[in-house]
Structure formats: structure tokens, C-alpha cells
Structure 1
Amino acid sequence: MIKPQEVLLMGGYGRAGTEIARLLVEYSEYFITITGRNKQKAEITAITLNNRASAERCKGIALDITDSKALEKVLPEYDLLINCVPLPTNDKQVIRIICEAGVHYVDLIPGKSKRAQFEKYKSVIIQNNSICVLEAGWEPGLPAFLAQLGVQKLNDKAKNIEVHAVYREKEMPYTSIADIMEHADLTASFLEEGQWVRKSIIHNQNMQFPEPFGNVTGYPAELAELKSTAVDLGLRSLTFYHGGYNPICDLILFIWTALGLRNNEYLKSAGVNLFRWANNWFTKPPFGGIIKVKLKGNSKSLQITASTEDLYRATAIPVVAAVKQILDKTINDVGVHFMGSAAKPEEFEEEITRMGISIDIQQNNHVIT
């Protein structure tokens, strides 16, 4: 009898974690262990999912990611670890344990230092035949994947890629806002005529989305996965504009970043609570998200649009699709990867569409002068 594959879900009773667990139960046969500091919450989430599935597919345990000894003991029992929580200040030790455990790994939370640490252990990961997929989800995650999917469908050499994204969610949890404020910057790197240049918020652009979003002001933004994609594809230009927060949230984010407070742990809670207040009071419908990727080649152009009304489900869907491709060996390139470059485009598109993300593709001839 073949042993069922087992997934350890760190932060599994949080909002994103619960969605991931729910989708894993619905779209896979894996056994799932839901973890976090609170054993009762983990167990309640597991019981709820088991009742929904009418099967004993989940269990809940207490596991603190900062407890290195407990993590080291538990990890070898699993095929794959999904991490939905920020790594602690001793992340070097935690990452070492993850890399040496010989498990596959999928992470939702972006972080430059974390990527560097995983790259440091790349030889260990490869030796263990493990796959580490970083920055999975709706954003980051899907923009680079859509770019790769577009390149495959363009049937032409891609030269220019432009990404527009709108993200509007009311009652955002503390951790999501903290992540936004930590990674906010006043400038972003754009690729123009083969050269990387910095763009500030004064270089905003009007973005046109399908209704009900319509016109949205987009500000220059930066994703490491897109920069990596630009290099891999040999692009001439790459731009990424992001919008969606209300003007009060935008102002708070601007002041917070301009004053250099994003890494101030003492004021972090105050900043997050201020942003949350502004988001809850001033963010109005429609809610949800759209990512629009425009590609231009030598003689053709293509536009791919992904849309959702439920951003937490949409964050979970690419994660689950990546997990499935890793465990069924569709993704078989061991090492450290961004989700967008690791996923096999057509199969991944089919999977995320089946789980609820809408994908629209439009192609037409276009001559670049």
C-alpha cells in the first residue's frame, strides 16, 4: 500500500492558512497537519475540515516555528512544508533546519534576506533532492507566472512586459498589513531599454481595468520575481504598477516609508493599526483583485488578465497548485525557485482556473517600432 503524502501547514489556522487547508482537502488526497502556537485553534480547524470532508484528513498540533528543536524533530515526518507565517529573527537557524530536513518547501511571505539564506543552502537542498518555492500566492507569485504563461502563448520573442495590479480588501488582518508596510518603498526598479532605472511615486500611471474597478491610479512597485523573470527572458523593458488602497492608506504608507519607519519594531504596531483603521473606514467596493500582464514581441502582442473577488482564496489557490505540482513531480527541478518560474505554465493555468481564479487571454498582431 502506498503511503499517503503528508503536508505540514505552518500557520494553518490563520486566514490564508485556512483557505490553503480547505483547498488541499478539496483538491488533493494529502494528509494535512495544521500547526501554530495555539493547539486548540489548530485542532478546531482540523476538526472543521474533517467534518466538511467526511474523512480524517487533517490533524492539529502545536508547533512554534521559533522552537528550533521541535521543528527539527517534526519536519522529517513530512513530504512538504507550507509556511504561512513570517520567519523569526533567528531565521538563519530555522532556514538551515528546513533545508537540511530533506522536505519540499513552499513559502508565501516575501523577504530579501530569507531568499538569500535559502540560496546559501542551495547545494544542501539539491543534495537532498528538495524543491523550495518562494513567494507563492496571488501577489507575489502570480505576476511572474502570468508573464511566463504569456511568453509561452505569445509565439514570438517577448521584448516588453507591463504589469498592472489592483488589490482591494477590507478588514485585512494584522500580518497582511504588516507585510505591506514592511516592504513598501518610495521607488521601484523598472527595466527601460535594457537598463534598470529607479522610478518614484510621482511616476504614477492611470490603469484601466474591467468594471467594476475601471480607472485606478497605479504607482511604481517592485517584485523580485519579476526582476528575475526579466533577466531570464532577456527583456528590453519591464514595468509594474500597483494600486487599490484608498487615498488615506496611500498617504499613511507614503509618510511611513518617507520617514524610514518600516523597520522600526517599536512603532510597527501603531503603524499597522493606523493603516487598518484607514482601510476599514475608507476602502469602498469593489473588493478583490486583478492582475493584467501585457506582453509585446517582434510582431505580436498578448494580454493576460487574472481576476478574483476573494483575495484570500486567490492567495491560497496558486500555493495549492504549486504544492500539487511538486508532489506529483510536475515540478521536478530541485533547488530554490520563485513560484512563477517553477510552475509548468499550461498545467498550472488549468489547475488555478479549476480552483476559482479567472484567466482571460487576448492576442493580436502588433508591430513594435
Structure 2
Amino acid sequence: MRIETINVGDGACAVTSDTDKTTDLTLIDCGRWRRGDRAAADRARDYLGERLGDVTTLVVTHFDRDHWGGLLELAATHATLRPKNAPAVEIRIPGMPDSFAKNLRAGMLALISSRDDAPVNAIELHDAWKATGVGVRQTVHYAGDEFEANGRTWKVLWPPHRVPTEMGDRITTWLDDLKKLADEMNAAGHGKLLDDLHKAYAGVESFDAPVAREESPREEPMRWPMPERHYDEHRSGDDLLPEDAETAPDTDFREVPKKFKDKLRKLANRMSSLDNALSLVITTEDGGFIDFGDIEGDALEALLRSGTVATEYTVMFAPHHGTHEAPSGLPQAWVCISQNGVDHHRKNFLHRKTHSNEGRCVSTWDRGNIDLDTVRWGFRYWPWW
């Protein structure tokens, strides 16, 4: 299996394929925080070239813009390179907890759109690829699911179908607060958030339509509490950036009146933490590769206690760009990759000093694009930097 990590800076983008690099490709995430969706897409285009047309599966670990925004930009180019009569492109995304999937998905998407001050939200990812005419099938996944991609079986380890009652109660409160705030802002003449909510509800069925699966007794919800540490996603302080670092204006709720901004930021940070906690975590059946997405904190520890994570993998993508301390049960890996850029790399030392991985932790900040090849009888490492 070949695993190619494309350096998009503070974001995520990777391609997996069979070892000869000529078979169908699986594209896992593509986005770049603050430098823009187009920048991430351009890097992916430059790296893949005509192989972009071989992409048959898109995996979105979660819907922070630094993981999915570039995929939107790649749709049109992919269509020009895709062979005629090619099978439909499969889009694999994380499911939301059963009890309130539609409401939670819509709330998250509305906040994404309002936070980025952009008319595009994640619903349009599906629509953009569908509009190219190559055909699209989108599937939500939960722990226990399996799917086929680039000639192998993949297993889904996270998110769970159900969450504990106390978490569900808190999520319901947040969603109620979001709707009330949207109504309050609309009454004051600022209707974007309410419009975004309406748009999200109108299109969310394309995400969480019922999925055909064998009926089985539903598992008990995993006992992981709602994270109290609401990480301020990707905000690390521009004053600490190198003087010559490329920067972009912060568009975070730029058009929101000051009296509403604090409430909206608080809700967005809580939702962002939850979005990370519900990241899609996938692994190949042979144990050659695992991608933790942005799962963090108590959710990550619950996953590690679930018994579904192996103790060692050949290649691993570090949780949340390798910007947090590694919990004691985090697996070993022959190579552990942190996808980070000018901002994230300053926190990468937290991961490296706490992940007992015998120094085999690398990052795209240090190495650029990282091209790896795993084989049944061993491991070959071809770094392209």
C-alpha cells in the first residue's frame, strides 16, 4: 500500500493507493486553514497531476474547513481527467449520533458557513462533485462499518452510533441556544446565521439519509464525558509566528455585530470541539495504516479503551495534527506523521515528547510531502523532501 501525504501546511491531505500507484486512489481530506481552500487544492493538483482523475473515493474525516475545503475546489479538475463511463465517486463521511443527527449536522454546517464568512458550506461538497457528471454516492459511517477502497478493506473505528445521555442533553442545549441566537440576530437585522441554518436543514438529508445496514442490537453508548476543554481551534497567536510567515486576514465572524460575536464564538468553539470528537477514524484491515482525524481529549481516550485499536501500525496519522499530548495508550507506529504547517508545528513538540514511539514521529512541516510504501513482509520508506 502506498500512502502519500501532501504538504498543504496547516491542514490535511493524503492519498492512498495500491503499491504500484496506478490503481484507484483514495483521497483523504484536503484543506488548509487560513491560507485558503484554493491553496490546498492547488498543492494537491500539482502533486497528483493527471492521477487526480484516478481518485475514486473521498474520505472526509470531519467538516472543519482545513479538512474538506480543498475538496470542493478539486471537483471540476477531477471531472476533466476522469475516464468516461467511470464508476461513481464514493464520498465517505462521519455519521452524527443517532438521536439528533439531522439537527446536529445542520447546526455544525451553519456555524461553519457563518464562521468562515463564506456562502459555501459543506453541503455543497456533495453537490459540486455530483454536478461534474461523474456520479457520486455519499455514505455516512459509524464504528463497526467497513468499506472497500483502492483494492482493500477499510474498517471504521469511530464515531459511535450513540453518545451518553449527559452529552446528548448538552448538545441539545447548544442547538437550542444556536437557534435562539439566530432568531435574535435576525430580529436585529443580521439574518446570515438564520439563513445558513435554513440552508443547512434544506440540504442535510444528502448527508444523513438512512443507510442500508444489517440490523443488530445497538451497542451501549461509550462512556466518555463531554469534553470540558473547548480548544480554540487552530488559534495559536499570530504574535508568535515568524516575522516572514505568510498570513491571511482572520475572517472569523467578521460581519457579526460585536454584541453577538462572543456568544457565537462560544457556541462555535463548543461545536468545533464536538466536531473533532466525532471525527471519522479509519484503518486498513491489515493494520498497515490508521488515520485518527482530529479526534482528541476524552473521545480519543474512550476510543483507545474500546479495544478496537491495535497496539502498533505501520503508518499512523497523529490525532489532531500532532498538536496535543499523546495519551498513554496511543499506538506505536513505524512512522507517525503529523500534518502541520507554520502554526501547528510549534505545538508538535507536545506530541513528540509524549508519544513513546522511539523517535519515529515526523511532520510535513519538517519533511514536506511524505511518500511511504508498506509491504506485507516489511516496510519501505521513501521520503520525498
More strand by percentage: 1
TM-score, L = length of structure 1: 0.26
TM-score, L = length of structure 2: 0.25
